[in-house]
A and B are shown apart, each in its own frame.
Chain A
Amino acid sequence: MDLFEYQGKQFFAQYGMPISAGEVAFTVDEALAAAERLGTPVMVKSQVLAGGRGKLGGIKFAADMDAVREHAGNILGLDIKGHIVKRLWIEKASDIAEEYYMSFTLDRSAKKHLGMLSAEGGMDIEEVAASTPEKISKIWVDPVDGLTDELAAQWVDEANLNPQAREGAIEIAKQLYTAYTEGDADLCEINPLILTPEGKVHVLDSKVTLDGNSEFRHPDYQQYDETQTRDEREEAAHAKGLQYVGLDGSVGVIANGAGLAMSTLDVINQVGGSPANFLDIGGGANADVMSGALEVINDDPNVKAIFINIFGGITRGEEVANGILEAMKRVKIDSPIVIRLDGTNAEEGRAILAPELDDMLMMETTMLDAARKASELAAG
């Protein structure tokens, strides 16, 4: 789950990290009221789950109320990399002496937590990493030991920050690590972390991704799930408990298992078709799951043919076949369906489907043939 900047800052604040006072606003009037309470100058910041907001005009400094009105009006409704701005974060403006970068994430190769700190903050850290990797100070933290005071100090010293920032940065490093681990985050990033002219270290931006698997011990994360930006179909699939990702092709895909679903997309592309989606229905393929999946696919106007690719493991072919037939009774399907059913009791399953086959329900024995058939049908 990705958090908006302001949600990330409020998350950081729970762990004691210094953030600026601010308020969420959905309209120009709310933005003005927030600025009135906070006192100008303020920053008017678009809240979207995309990077590079500043360059695209999504973050503006407002010296007075007129500027707040102007910027809030311009930013609301702005399209930032496909995300339409619906909410703003109005924040008390800060004076900046220096900008740093600090983050924690999991290093999957090292199987340890990776901390990155750089005196070159404020810009794209991937650019810094690519062009001047020596300017990023890295530490690998063993999750069993955690981030000790010594390690935090050593890390900050290696980053060559302004000496004035040392104590504050060490403190925030420890707080950020605690937020990252106790909060079950996949990523906690501050860019920029600033040093003010008064010598204070302060969090000016946040990028936080939380691990959805940890919700059982963080019931409050439900609130973030509600603000995730999904398109309509992704939302509908999510509500049915299906793993769905929308794409722009014309062959609707239903498969069991993430690997097989990805493989199905590959094969469709290889035979010259284009998949409309990724949809993993998981291990089972009963009528309920199958109807839900068919409804989601059928609602996609781009879909011209549907490829159901099921490999029966523990789930037997007969169950899969009956599930498909039952689902087809429940959902009115507009596009022809091509089924490939293989694995456990595939023969029995195919025998059940055989009498039902027509020009709206077809069957192929291999993944490649089924992909070809579905792609041809989609091409018209």
Chain B
Amino acid sequence: MAIFVDENTKVIYQGLTGRQGSYYGGLNKEYGTQVVAGTHPKKAGTDVDGVPIYASVAEAVEATGATASCIFIPAPGVKDAVMEAAEGGIEFIVAITEGVPAHDEAWFYNKLKRDFPNVQLLGPNCPGIISPGKCNIGITAGHIAKPGGPVGIVSRSGTLTYQALYELQQKDIGVTTCVGIGGDPVPGTSFIDCLAAFEADPETKAIMMIGEIGGSAEEEAAEFIKHNVTKPVSSYVAGVTAPPGKKMGHAGAIVSGGKGTADAKMEALRDAGVKVGQNPTEAGELMAEIVASL
């Protein structure tokens, strides 16, 4: 089993006709993902490498029975694209696009919670989700992940997600699902959403969590782990040595006023029984020890 997406998940690509959308949509399809449709208001009836284009998400859902969508629309259109997907009947929305204004994110996060409580949004500004061997939605290189399990991965950072997948693959450890939640201020899916899903997934036996400085998502996750997660967790938090007040690329990666530091996050995680590595390699080694003792 996997969480959120598997081999039966049918996916619509919003923005499949664009440069990014057609490239990654093509790679996802090659990987084995059920890429069933794309959308473009003016290109209905055409296709991208055999994938039919519909005018709207609602029409694409009607025709294909898709339950997931992947958004490669430029930032100004993401707010409308997310709402179009939810209104069109999509249950799992993956928004890859970076550079979405924080006010848009705050707005559609709350709008979905209120009017579409069953819709799960992942992102924006995330690498996507991969259930190795089954389904890959987004920009993760599929071949760096070993299918099977027993590890579930959740990460706030793109390249560190790849690093984590790769560390495990090098140690011949499989992954059930790897979720990149993204580093933006208002991520649609949180660490806690993923931890809860991994806890409920019988094939996931251990969880690897990659955090980052800024905000309090890791501290909240630690609190959740303490009370609700029985499976072993290993972790790494990037930015131990980042100077305060400096913005490190991601909108989320900023430390202010002593809050959101890597040390505070690692302490909270250790306190929740999580094995914390000082770098990604060490977190991978800790996970290998956990897997060996399962």
Which residues of A pack against B, CB within 8 Å?
106, 108-109, 111-113, 126, 142-144, 181, 184, 186, 211, 213-214, 216-217, 243, 245, 247, 255-263, 265-270, 275, 278, 280, 283, 311-314, 342-344, 366-368
User: Given A211-B103, A258-B249, A313-B141, are A142 and B110 also a contact pair (CB < 8 Å)?
Assistant: yes
B residues 129-156 with Cβ under 8 Å of A?
Answer: 139-141, 143-144, 155-156
Q: Which of B213, B220, B249, B278 contacts A270 (CB 8 A)?
A: B278
B248 and A245 contact, CB distance less than 8 A:
yes
Q: A28 to chain B: closest CB distance in Å?
A: 32
Closest A residue to B250 by CB, please name it.
Answer: A258
CA gap between A280 and B279 in the complex, in Å: 18
By a beta-carbon cutoff of 8 Å, the part of chain B in contact with chain A is 24, 27, 75-76, 99-103, 106-107, 109-111, 114, 127, 139-141, 143-144, 155-163, 166, 183, 185-186, 210, 212-213, 215-217, 220, 236, 238-243, 246-253, 257, 262, 278-281
Give the complex CA separation of A108 and B156 in angstroms: 14
Question: B106 and A259: CB pair below 8 A?
Answer: no
Beyond known contacts A217-B101, A262-B239, A262-B249: 13 more, CB 8 A cutoff? A109-B215, A111-B106, A184-B101, A214-B101, A257-B157, A258-B249, A259-B210, A262-B248, A263-B160, A265-B242, A268-B241, A313-B162, A368-B279
A265→B243 CA distance, assembly (Å)? 10
Asked if A269 and B279 make an inter-chain contact with CB atoms under 8 angstroms apart, the answer reads: no
State which of B140, B162, B241, B249 has its C-beta within 8 Å of the C-beta of A266: B241
Closest B residue to A217 by beta carbon equals B76
CB-CB < 8 A to A184: which residues of B?
101-103
Contacts of B246 in A (CB 8 A): 245, 278
Determine whether the beta carbon of B101 is less than 8 Å from that of A143: no
Q: Are A257 and B166 in contact (CB under 8 A)?
A: no
Q: How far is the CA of A268 from the CA of B27 in the complex (A)?
A: 35
Residue from B76, B141, B279 in contact with A267 in the complex, judged by beta carbons closer than 8 Å: B279
Residues on the B chain within 8 Å of A144, using CB: 107, 110-111, 114
For B183, B217, B251, the residue with the greatest tally of chain A CB atoms inside 10 Å of its CB is: B251
Q: What CA separation (Å) do A269 and B162 show in the bound complex?
A: 22
**Would you give 14 A-B contacts (Cβ < 8 Å), ordered by A?**
A126-B257, A144-B107, A181-B103, A259-B238, A259-B250, A262-B253, A265-B239, A266-B278, A266-B279, A312-B141, A313-B144, A314-B27, A343-B144, A343-B163
Task: Tell me if B102 and A211 are in contact (CB < 8 A).
Answer: yes
Contact B160 A143 (CB under 8 A): no
- Please, which residues of chain A bring their CB within 8 A of the CB of B166? 311, 342-343
Question: Measured between alpha carbons, how far is A344 from B114 in the docked complex, in Å?
Answer: 41
Inter-subunit contact B249/A243 (CB<8 Å): yes
Contacting pair B278 A259 (CB below 8 A): no
CA distance A225 to B275 in the complex (A): 43
Which of A111, A113, A256 is most buried by chain B, counting CB atoms within 10 A of its CB? A111
Using CB atoms, name the residue of chain B closest to A246: B246
Kindly list chain B residues whose C-beta atoms are within 8 Å of the C-beta of A217.
76, 101
How far is B111's CA from A172's CA once the two chains are assembled, in angstroms?
26
The binding surface of chain A is classed by DSSP as: mixed
Cβ of A190 to closest chain B Cβ, rounded Å: 19
In the complex, chain A residues whose CB is within 8 Å of the CB of B281: 366-368
Find the B residue at minimum CB distance from A182: B103
Residues of B within 8 A of A256 (CB): 159
Task: Tell me how far the C-beta of B180 lies from the nearest C-beta in chain A, rounded to whole angstroms.
Answer: 10
Shortest Cβ gap from A272 to chain B (Å): 12
Set of chain B residues within 8 Å of A143, measured between Cβ atoms: 103, 106-107, 110
Known: A108-B185, A262-B248, A367-B280. A344 touches B144 (CB 8 A): yes
Contact B75 A260 (CB under 8 A): no
Complex partner residue of A259 from B24, B110, B159, CB under 8 angstroms: B159
- For A262, the chain B residues whose CB sits under 8 A away are 157, 212-213, 238-239, 242, 248-249, 253
Chain A residues with CB under 8 A of B279 = 263, 266-267, 270, 367-368
Question: What distance in Å separates the Cβ of A289 from its nearest Cβ neighbour in chain B?
Answer: 14
Interface pair A263/B280, CB less than 8 Å apart: yes
Closest chain B residue to A315 by CB distance? B141
Contact A260:B186 (CB < 8 A) given known A211-B101, A265-B241: no
Would A314 and B103 be within 8 Å (CB), given that A257-B160, A259-B160, A266-B241 are in contact?
no
Contacting pair A247 B243 (CB below 8 A): yes
In the docked arrangement, what's the CA distance between A342 and B213, Å? 24
A106, A142, A245, A259: the one contacting B185 at CB < 8 Å is A106
Instruction: Give A338 to B39 CA distance when docked, in angstroms.
Output: 45
Give every chain B residue within 8 A of A261 (Cβ-Cβ). 248-249
- Partner of B240 from the list A260, A266, A283, A343 (CB cut-off 8 Å) is A266
**B101 to chain A: closest residue by CB:** A214
Given contacts A106-B185, A211-B101, A280-B249, contact A216 B76 (CB under 8 A): yes
Task: List B contacts of A263 (CB < 8 A).
Answer: 160, 163, 236, 238-239, 279-280
Do residues A106 and B102 form an inter-chain contact, with CB atoms below 8 A?
Answer: yes
Contact of B248 among A142, A258, A268 (CB under 8 A): A258
Cα distance A268–B241 in the bound complex, in angstroms = 9
* B102 touching A259, Cβ below 8 Å: no
| Alpha-carbon gap, A186 to B75, bound state (A) | 17
**Nearest neighbor of B249 in chain A, beta-carbon distance:** A258
Bound-complex Cα distance A255 to B102 (A): 26
Cα distance A262–B246 when bound, in Å?
Answer: 12
- Known contacts A213-B101, A260-B163, A368-B279; A266/B111 CB under 8 A: no
Chain A residue with the shortest CB-CB distance to B102: A211
A27 to B267 Cα, complex, angstroms: 51
* Interchain CB contact (< 8 A) of A278 among B99, B248, B280: B248
B115 to chain A, nearest CB (A): 9
Report how far A342 CA is from B167 CA in the complex, Å. 10
Which residue of chain B lies nearest to A312 when distances are taken between CB atoms in the complex?
A: B141
Q: Contacts A126-B257, A142-B110, A263-B238 hold; do A213 and B157 have CB atoms under 8 A apart?
A: no
B260 to chain A, nearest CB (A): 9
How distant is the Cα of A143 from the Cα of B107 in the complex, in angstroms?
5
Docked Cα-Cα span, A108 to B250, in Å, equals 14
Kindly list the 3 A-B residue pairs having the minimum CB-CB distance in the complex, ordered from nearest: A259-B157, A257-B159, A258-B249
